Structure 1
Amino acid sequence: VGLATRRVRTALVARLGEAGFTALFSVVATAFFALLVRYYAAHRLDGDAGLALGGVLRWPLMALIVGGFALATASLVTYPESPMAILTHTVRPPRGLERVTRHPFFMGVALSALAHVPLATRLVGAVFQLGLATLAIAGAWHQDRKLVVLRGRPYEDYLAQTSAVPFAAIVAGRQRLVPQELPYVALAVTLVLALWLRFVHGSIFAHGGAWVIGGTLGVAAAAGLGSSLVARRRRGRAAPALVSRRQALAFAGATLLGYVGIVHEAVGSTLYPYGPAAFGGPLGWHAAGLSLVAAGVLIGAATLGLLRLPVVPIAALLSLVGAAFVALQALGHGDFHFFAFTMLVAGLLVAFSAHGPREHATG
């Protein structure tokens, strides 16, 4: 948040440019988030007991957690079109979840975190969740101040029509709920995901919080990519939305391949501590991860016609490698290698999408 304060941000943008500042902010935020999660994961069972409320209050609090999680996660689907999206310079009228709260992600995180505080079994967990809620609320306030400066009167009008507190603008009569605008599919998917997370709740922060770090970074990267594509489309430049469906699918698969490589580098050795030895040591381990990142970038560029590569055989080979690791993990450790499976699926997606005649771009 400190990097994004007006004075610091202005100075950094002047020196680095908007894209450079965004990259710097992303790197710093990622590093601090990873360190925070890893520290909490290592100490989540230490110290004094929390309130651990039960009885009649437990179920309403759990419902609030699920609702907040669904609100925050579903908002990522509509984020690229929102006035808050990075690389966006226009302010459209509020729609969908923005009618409920103009900050569905921040408020969803805050609601879920605050509901966790009285349920936490350890004091350290209550403090962690309270800090997360505070950061979300402060982030929403700070973002409004920043966008008033950057967008001017259009964003001031947007503020007047909406509320940060969920449903406050609707209750006050400044806004109305339009059911047909709500992302029902995204909400349904996130509700299912929330139930699954409840089932694996005890192991969410296992492996040093690697699952939390990897999942969060992947979602953030997808949201950022979506915002970038929407911004490019609005400017009338070539973007995956303006190319063929086959190219768009192949590019999506290439992005997944690169993401698996990033996860391999970021948390792979934590999830699979025996992995580096299987690759002949750290050098082989990092060479594999960085090669997959590079492959994802190059294949993505090739699917968009920016360079020439034998995309289909490379993708098919990577898919076979993913299948091999899925089999080895299952046979050798009796476990399911999710990221190798993702690599398998992504490789197949690229191979089948890039194979055959290309459709003409539309739009």
Structure 2
Amino acid sequence: MSNEWLTPSHFVILGLLFGFAIAHSGLAALRPRAEKLVGARLYRVFFALVSLPLAIVLIIYFINHRYDGLQLWQLQGIPGVEIAVWTLSAISFIFLYPATFNLLEIAAIQKPQVHLFETGIIRITRHPQMVGQVIWCVAHALWLGTTFMLVTSAGLILHHLFGVWHGDRRLQARYGESFETLKSRTSIMPFLAIFQGRQTLDIKEFLKPAYVGIVVFVLLLWWAHPILIRATGSIGW
């Protein structure tokens, strides 16, 4: 079988993901020391100025090359597939963006802090962003079916799995025994701690404006998706 399907874009996306992972995780690791030097707000601004451009480049390059490589399956057009992909994507955002509950901290309007939560989505999984990323990758791999998408998914998931280890390590260093207590009552695998009786699920904790914001965001994304595809297509990357 010819390997002409293995386009350079497969390696470029891995390089972009690797660069983003080093910048994002590296800056997270430096946060305790850096905040003592320049302050929490200024460091958050610096973190955003580094991370956001890299993320935007990644998104544009991914959209423009999403059909590169070998087409392993083609499920588009099959009844129910599109709604399944959008449903999975919507669920992934619920897990991916728990940080939206602290928008003022993200924007450095309030002093950014490292929180030790055990409510809401954390009852389901201690690492919701990793779970959300896996769900997002499954949804888009189902829709696209290309080797480029699988390579992208592998890079994203590996980065988030590293983030699980790295995040726990940083919380352990900061909170010590308090984190060990939280760790004993939560799980990485979704719903595992609940099934084992170590945790309970409180639906009322999900009835908050932040979740309404996520729903609105998903609806706006659904509406703007074709516009976003056309806009990125005009960039020759």
Length-normalised TM-score, structure 2: 0.67
Structure 2 counterpart of 1:29, one-letter code: S
SS in 2 for 1:205: helix
Cα deviations by residue, 1:288-340 (Å, 9 ceiling, x for unpaired): xxxxxxxxxxxxxxxxxxxxxxxxxxxxxxxxxxxxxxxxxxxxxxxxxxxxx
Larger Rg: 1
2: CA distance, partners of 1:114 / 1:120: 10
Q: Which amino acid is the alignment partner of residue 134 of structure 2?
A: A
Q: Does 1:208 align with 2:232?
A: yes
Contact 1:12 1:21 in 2 (8 A): no
Q: Using the alignment, how far apart are the partners of 1:52 and 1:164 within structure 2?
A: 32
Q: Which residue of 2 aligns with 1:174?
A: 198
3-state DSSP class of the match of 1:143? Answer: helix
Aligned position for 1:246: none
Counting matched residue pairs gives: 207
Deviation at 1:76, TM superposition (A): 3.4
Relative contact order (C-alpha < 8 Å, sep 6+): which is higher? 2
Indicate if the aligned counterparts of 1:41 and 1:206 stay in contact, CA closer than 8 A: no
Mark the runs of 5 or more structure 2 residues left unpaired by the alignment: 1-20
Q: 1:155 is matched with which residue?
A: 179
Fraction of identical pairs, as percent = 24
Give the counterpart letter for 2:62 in structure 1: Y
**What is the distance in 2 between the residues matched to 1:90 and 1:66?**
25
Equivalent-residue separation in structure 2 for 1:62 and 1:162 (angstroms): 28
Aligned match of 2:112 = 87
- Distance between the aligned counterparts of 2:211 and 2:62, measured in 1? 29
* Shift of residue 118, structure 1, vs aligned partner: 2.6
Say if 2:29 and 2:170, in contact at 8 Å, map to a contact too.
Answer: no
Normalized against structure 1, the TM-score is what?
Answer: 0.47
CA distance in 1, matches of 2:28, 2:226: 42
SS at match of 1:28: helix
Post-superposition offset of 1:116: 1.5
Q: Which whole-Å CA distance do the structure 1 matches of 2:66 and 2:186 have between them? A: 37
Quote the residue 2:101 is aligned against. Answer: 78
RMSD: 3.8
What is the distance in 2 between the residues matched to 1:132 and 1:15? 31
Partner of 2:30 in structure 1?
A: 9
Displacement after TM superposition at 1:111 (Å):
1.4
Letter in 2 for 1:91: L
The answer for the alignment partner of 1:36 in structure 2 is 58
Contact 1:102 1:163 in 2 (8 A): yes
Task: Please tell me whether residue 190 in structure 1 is matched to residue 214 in structure 2.
Answer: yes
Shift of 1:162: 1.2
Distance 2:209 2:233 in 1: 28
Name the counterpart of 1:65.
89
- Residues 129-180 of structure 1: per-residue CA shift (max 9 Å, x gap): 4433333333233212111112221122112211222212111211000111
Q: Kindly provide the CA deviation profile for residues 97-152 of structure 1, in whole angstroms up to 9, marking residues without a partner as x.
A: 22112233342233122322132154323433443333333323321211111222
Aligned-pair CA distance for 1:12: 6.1
Structure 1 residue runs without a partner (length 5+) = 211-269, 271-363
AA aligned opposite 2:74: A
Asked if 2 retains the 8 angstrom alpha-carbon contact of 1:38 and 1:208, the reply is yes
The 1:18–1:49 alpha-carbon spacing in structure 2 relative to 1, beyond 3 Å, is farther
Contact 2:44–2:112, Cα closer than 8 Å, also in 1: no
